[in-house]
Structure 1
Amino acid sequence: MTTPVTSRNRAKAERTDAILVAAAALFGARGYSSVSLEDIGAAVGVSGPAVYRHFAGKQALLGALLIGVSEDLVAGGTAVVHGTADERIRMAMLVDFHVDFALRNADVIRVQDRDLSHLTQGSRSDVRRLQRAYIGLWIDALGALVTGEREELRLRVQACFGLLNSTPHSTSAALRTRTDTARVLAAMAMAALTAGDG
């Protein structure tokens, strides 16, 4: 039997999501160490102590943010992989999926790059495990298109991620529409993934 979702539960879930979004923005702009729970609470209209109703503390909040995003990437990537039997289309769809993620989640990418060390050992292990699973999806998809040892495929994939995830650190993306930016990034990513093959 499914427990009905009450308006109170829905409101709590929405507040939790709002806290995660605010934390990503503040951590991304100022760094984990320079942001307090009071800052995050103020950004969503609650007191700092009220944040404890949703997260055990700032470190737990960081863990929920980075683990949640990593889970979303694995789930989304898995759905893409199972969405088509065409090998080239599958790879292009994975690229498009990650381009969209990078353009929508610049703050989270900054936090991941800079503040991963602030996670607990357990949370960091969870993030790394999910990252390996996501990279594995890409390696398997690329292996259907490009000849090479698995470690070479991994190098290609990680270099592609470096290209796409550098977007938040670049001001050039602001000079184009999002559609133009996505098109250019996707073309560059596919070229990088398959460069020198054959």
Structure 2
Amino acid sequence: MGSRPTGERRTAILGAAAELFAERGFRGVTIDDLGRAVGTSGPALYRHFPGKEALLGEVLVDVSDRLARRGAEVVAAAREPREALDLLLRGHIAFALDEPALITVHDRELGHLTEDDQYRVRRLQRGYVEQWVGVLADLRPHDSADVLRAAVHAVFGLLNSTPHSRGGLGRQEMADLLLTMGAAALTAPATIPGAPAATAAGGTVPRL
């Protein structure tokens, strides 16, 4: 196998693959389909990827890595926890609105990854979740890490609903709505005063 593509070429290949996998499903896409989508032949892609499974792995590892790296950068740059939370929300909302195919592919095709790629994706995603949990721990010091982690997973479910929930709203209108709802959900008290305590439920991965 040749070297992996870099820069704009790599971005184009991964973007085209994500769109095709989202539209047709992993099993419905051939290597020739993928080649045509980026203006080359299927066999030419074998110079960079050994097959569809490897390309799917690259797609999902790449987006998990991008989210984790950007999350770390904005948390490090923020002057205080509320700014960090705002930046995390805005970054994830931009991803959800601009790259919805990746959400669809993750939800539907994660099981087609190799064990190594599944491990890489889940490790990156766990780290990304913990970035959010760390910020919330400063804002909600009386809540347990389990409660905060469940809140983060719940909000990811909200933000990642955009492939289905956007409807007729414009991008900015939807972004503003998600920002307001996400911030409210993450900063709400874990229990309502006077009501019985409830146990929050959360997933094991951030549901990209």
Common fold: TM-score over 0.5: yes
Displacement, 1:12?
6.3
Q: Identify if the C-alpha distance between structure 1 residues 195 and 177 changes in structure 2 by more than 3 Å, giving closer, same or farther.
A: same
Tell me which residue corresponds to 2:176: 183
Residue identity matched to 1:181:
M
Q: Identify if the C-alpha distance between structure 1 residues 78 and 43 changes in structure 2 by more than 3 Å, giving closer, same or farther.
A: same
Q: Identify if the C-alpha distance between structure 1 residues 12 and 86 changes in structure 2 by more than 3 Å, giving closer, same or farther.
A: closer
Residue identity matched to 1:158:
H
Decide which structure has greater helix share: 1
- TM (norm. structure 1) is 0.90
Structure 1 residue runs of 5 or longer lacking an equivalent are 1-8
2:106 aligns with one of 112, 116, 120: 112
- Secondary structure of the residue aligned to 2:46 is helix
Tell me which residue corresponds to 2:64: 70
- TM (norm. structure 2) is 0.86
Contact 1:16 1:54 in 2 (8 A): no
Displacement, 1:171?
4.3
1:40 aligns with 2:34: yes
1:89 aligns with 2:83: yes
User: Matches of 1:186 and 1:12 in 2, distance apart?
Assistant: 33
Pairwise CA RMSD? 1.6
Displacement, 1:13?
4.3
- Fraction of identical pairs, as percent: 46
- Runs of 4 or more above 4 Å deviation: none
- Secondary structure of the residue aligned to 1:56 is coil
1:123 aligns with one of 114, 117, 123: 117
- Secondary structure of the residue aligned to 1:139 is helix
Tell me which residue corresponds to 1:157: 152
Tell me which residue corresponds to 1:140: 134
